[in-house]
Each structure stands twice: as C-alpha cells, then as structure tokens.
Structure 1
Amino acid sequence: QVTGPCYCKLLVPNHIAGAIIGRQGSTIAHIELLTRCQLQISAGDAFFPGTTDRIAILGGTTRSLGDCISKVVQSLHEFSGRKDRPVQLKLVVPNSAVSSIIGYNGHRAKQLSSTMDCKINVSPRVENLKERLVLLSGA
C-alpha cells in the first residue's frame, strides 16, 4: 500500500473545467472538502500541448484520489450534454509509467480493460514530450 501523497494529472474540456470550478470556486472547494483531495485546474488559457483541454492536478491519498476522480467523472457526465454516450477520461502519464499500464504484449491493458469494463488507448510517444495520454472510455 502506498503511503504519503499521490498525484494524478487529468485533462478536462474547457467548458467542463469551468463547471467543476464553479462560481467563485465553490464547486471545486466542495469537491475538495468531500474527497479530502487537493484539486487544481489550470487557468482558462493554459491548455495541455496539442489540445484545448485544461490540466487538472489531483493530490491526496489513493482513496481520496479515487473519490475525487469519481466526482470529476460525474461532472463529465453531467456537463457533457451526452449522457447517452460513454465518458472519456484522459490521464496524463509519464512515459516511464506507460509500460506498467500496457504490460507485455498489451496483457496488462487488456486485464485492466476487462476489470474496469472500459477501453484503454495510449497515445503514441511524441518527441520532446515526457508524458503520454491514456484514454479510458466507458460508461
């Protein structure tokens, strides 16, 4: 079991980021209070390279991260306007950690996909970028 703080970086569509933050930061403060997870979202003009998505950084225990991610996914469902379509969660993962997700011949990714009932896609490596996107698509 992991001790100490853990961190997670997600990408959030700009219009949904505003909804997660809420008026004068009220919604994000409520999420932090409920989950005991720190949640920071990049400024309205600060996007992840090559996207129009804002960057959300989550910090806390593994449990609080899970709770916070659940709240973010709930917001994605509520504010996407597409409740009939699966949600797509975009994780930003260091290049060095991607092999742990994919596994040998994709075995670990298939196992995770089956366990979590979702599709997992990993973006190709981009030169001079030290991170890759892991897209999780599911209900």
Structure 2
Amino acid sequence: MESPDSPYASSPEAPPKRTSQPRSPGPDEKEKSTYVRFLVSNSEAGCIIGKGGTTITEFQSQSGARIQLSRNHEFFPGTSDRIIMISGAFQDIIKAMELILEKLLTEAEENLDADSRSKVRLVVPNSCCGGIIGKGGATIK
C-alpha cells in the first residue's frame, strides 16, 4: 500500500492474470516493474475508474498491471489534468494502456460534442527527452 503522503489514490491490487499456462519471465523481463505516467482530464479519469471502481478493477485484472490515479483535485503541476500511473511488466502495461485508450476513444465517440475530444499527455522525464527526439529529431520523425 502507498504511504498516507502518496499523491495517488489506491486502487485494488490487480489479481493474478489468468492464462491457460503459467507465465514465466522472458530474458528481457527480470521481475522488474516498469512505470508509465500520462495525464487525462478529471472527467476522463472518472470514466476510467468507473462506477464504484469497476472499470479500473476490470482493466487491472485483464492486463495484470497496476493502475493508479492521482486523487480528485490533485493535478499535474501547471495543468488541470489528473495523473494515471500504470506499473508492472512491460507487456502488461501495454495491455492496460490499450484498454484505457480504447475506453477513452469509445467515450469520445459516444459524446458528439466537438469540444469533448479526448486529450492524453504522456509524462516523460527530461532525461529521456533526448532519446525520444533523437539526433537532429531523427527518431521522433
């Protein structure tokens, strides 16, 4: 569990992923957790949580990743967006992100307002920006 000072609201631990055969870590997966953070609006965060936390619990059980959101009215500095942090094995994180982005896209399509377009911002440490951009912008292009 997080400490009381943690900026993230607790979500239930993801139950073990159910597969037809036991999953063993590959050579690149050394029981090391990976973390991804991105930003969404308060209403989109509510959509991801779902009524009584059902959606986020379902996403965690389907992906095997842990999904945490910043508390209501605790925003990323300089924005009015909440932080979603996904942790776990790389493939589990990718699956969780697919589920979340698919849900946000579905909600945006159902809501026909032009102003209700979904925006998701990835939070990247300054030390990683050079690797994403690449020399002379080659990688990002």
1:83/1:70 CA distance change after superposition, 3 Å: farther
2:87 corresponds in structure 1 to: 59
Which protein, 1 or 2, shows the higher relative CO under an 8 Å CA cutoff with sep ≥ 6?
2
Question: Could you tell me which residue of structure 2 aligns to residue 29 of structure 1?
Answer: 57
1:20 equivalent in structure 2: 48
Worse overlay, 83-92 or 72-81 = 83-92
Structure with the higher helix share, 1 or 2: 1
Deviation of 1:79 after TM superposition, in Å, equals 2.0
* Distance in 2 between residues matched to 1:2 and 1:82, nearest whole Å: 42
CA distance in 2, matches of 1:2, 1:108: 25
2:98 matches 1:98: no
| Distance verdict in 2 for CA 1:47–1:17, change over 3 Å | same
**Contact 2:47–2:104 (CA under 8 A) maintained in structure 1:** no
**Whole-Å separation in 1 of the counterparts to 2:34 and 2:113:** 30
Q: TM-score scaled by structure 1? A: 0.72
CA RMSD of aligned residues (A): 2.1
Flag the structure with larger Rg.
2
Q: Does 1:47 align with 2:75?
A: yes
Residues in 1 aligned to 2:139 and 2:58: alpha-carbon distance in whole angstroms? 35
TM-score by length of 2: 0.71
* CA distance in 1: counterparts of 2:52 and 2:43, whole angstroms: 15
- Which residue is equivalent to 1:7? 35
- Is 1:73 the equivalent of 2:73? no
Identity of aligned residues (%): 32
For 2:133 and 2:73, how far apart are their aligned partners in 1? 32
Is the CA contact (8 Å cut-off) linking 1:77 and 1:83 kept in structure 2? no
Secondary structure of the 2:82 match is strand
Q: Report the number of matched residues.
A: 110
| Conservation of the 8 A alpha-carbon contact between 2:39 and 2:121 | yes
Deviation at 1:44, TM superposition (A): 1.2
